[in-house]
Structure 1
């Protein structure tokens, strides 16, 4: 009987010791965590998760840290190290961090293995470009500006053209397609593609430069005209439709000469009668022309030109591509020829 009591006492003593040890251990951990928090605060070497959860802003080592309710968003910045300031994404990132402050950016060269995969996946035409992780969907900015993103899989491409970010470099350029108004040699290695609006006064200034340059270089280059109808011009779309109906009869450039020569006249009118009058003055088949214009036969073609302009980040006229070189606004004859000569010399 005494032996059983002794064994029971021994077992109880072990349990008590184990319990005391556990209490001491937990107390030590608690006190230790307090000490760590206090020591970190005194030394400025770090902050515990518990203390961080109690504040939204704090300072350490000359910096101010702010807590956000949004997730960390990874951004791949596709650029070209050889492009210089034109492809520098710094200013764009400053703005992006204002609307998505939790951005973590990684620069990727477009011609690296990873960069080439991104270019192919999103069919990227301009640099720099910004590809966001799917965490961007959880941000306030995305909920308010979803239209600025193009989703591919679990990644999101920022539409630079919608945001108004000017391209630093073009990876591809507009093609002068069969059926579009053109002058010169279709086999030439130098293509001059111009986005223009017949009601735009700056386009009128550039038109004569373009016409004279095309005549001077003849079959050494190919010049193509593309429509970018600006919404501020009430008759721009009708003039574009009329020019395409003239192209159908082989008189696009002559009709364009007429439109720009009479630019002070037809924009003040309504409807399509003036355009029909010009067609008759140029000796076009009036019945055929009028039917073409009244039906808006080439509206889809004009819309495609406009979508193409937007895809290349073009929003104003005139806008000129000389192969990979881009010229915004009115370009002098000397500047245009210099760009063409540079491309011909390659």
Structure 2
């Protein structure tokens, strides 16, 4: 049975008929919508969109569709989108591969450190749990000078191995993964975060309702 996610869950993201994203420019600008991204990823860039080692929150053995999210953990609209992605996981996780890519916009002071915190947690199987923490507490760390200490506190609350978390957070491997995701987003000309692709096609999000993810997924799955 199809589940409805009230659009009130992302109240405040609707401006001039479009879902506002955090754009790439550091200058004040008119709100951007996800419709601003390129409509489709060319065949020769599919590996850029979904690398073999991309992080997934669902990865069925025989996926019937692939949903890719580019997210910035300091972007408030990405925090709101997270609710919809978790609903999509609950509804379609057995059929759809859901991929999460980092898009830490350079204009956000702690976007890159927060991405590293989520990646470090992912090394212990806690990607979603850390993502939920950083999204829930954005206001506490977004302008903090000691964001690393705050993220370590979240890791401790989640019961992670702290020696491993600290080592991974500071590792070249995690830093390189976040940097690669950012470069891939730029190569794909992703205009802002959050941005969603379904089977290589950008999803226009204009109302902020879950149906804008649900309906394309149903169509792709033949539901």
User: What TM-score comes out, normalization by structure 2 length?
Assistant: 0.75
The counterpart of 2:179, out of the listed 300, 303, 316, is: 303
Q: Which whole-Å CA distance do the structure 2 matches of 1:221 and 1:166 have between them? A: 22
Indicate the SS of the match to 1:278: helix
The counterpart of 2:76, out of the listed 182, 198, 201, is: 201
Q: Please give the residue correspondences for 1:96-245 in structure 2 after superposition, counting only pairs within 5 Å.
A: 167-172=38-43, 173=46, 174-175=49-50, 177-245=52-120
Aligned twin of 1:343: 220
Deviation of 1:202 (Å): 0.6
Structure 1 runs of 4+ aligned residues shifted over 4 Å read: 328-331
CA contact (8 A) 1:190 1:222 kept: yes
Deviation of 1:215 (Å): 1.1
Aligned twin of 2:210: 333
Which structure is higher in helix share?
Answer: 1
Deviation of 1:166 (Å): 5.2
Q: 1:243 to 1:168 in 2, by over 3 A?
A: closer
Q: Which whole-Å CA distance do the structure 2 matches of 1:166 and 1:249 have between them? A: 33
Aligned twin of 1:312: 188
Q: 1:236 to 1:328 in 2, by over 3 A?
A: farther
1:293 aligns with 2:164: no
Q: Which has the higher contact order (CA 8 A, sep 6+)?
A: 2
Q: Which runs of 5+ in 2 are unaligned?
A: 1-35
Deviation of 1:217 (Å): 1.2
Deviation of 1:303 (Å): 1.4
Provide, for residues 168-200 of structure 1, a one-character-per-residue CA deviation record: whole Å limited to 9, x for no partner: 443334225335233141521200000000000
1:276 aligns with 2:152: yes
Deviation of 1:268 (Å): 2.6
RMSD (CA atoms): 2.0
Q: Which runs of 5+ in 1 are unaligned?
A: 1-164
